[in-house]
Structure 1
């Protein structure tokens, strides 16, 4: 699976790693629903750090289609609301 972090680039992530990310995604969704800005920011940074940790960066010149697009670390709570599905940022995980 190819994951794009907006403003950073892409990483290749094994499909079986999605379950590790789903807990953070669930927390992020709850914080969004509760309007918890500080919690949202901390969890978003943790989610992106985990994606970077588990994934393998693709070269900057790679043009792979992204299976999943995550907001960048400077994203706002309001901006991310537009990206969320009912399942969070990671659908079906």
Structure 2
């Protein structure tokens, strides 16, 4: 396959556009708040140190979203996506009763 200047320029432009769109996509994911109905049902707390251990005995000190198998960090570092709360960003220091420690 020969690569001429026109094809190179078109591919470069498309690559730049896709990187820009991809970078903006993660910032547009809404943040999950504790008053969200799904968050309330799963006992989500934005700060794991504020989990009511009487209500959620499964919680152990030090557990947080960043250590859960459902969590995937986002580039900015303070939040990530969660397989349980799809379509929402969760705080890396948060916790919910679906917590499963990463293997």
User: How high is the TM-score relative to the length of structure 1?
Assistant: 0.25
Q: Which of the pair is proportionally richer in strand?
A: 1
Task: Determine which structure has more spread, i.e. the larger CA radius of gyration.
Answer: 2
Q: Which of the pair is proportionally richer in helix?
A: 1
Point out which structure has higher relative CO (alpha carbons under 8 A, 6+ apart): 1
User: How high is the TM-score relative to the length of structure 2?
Assistant: 0.23
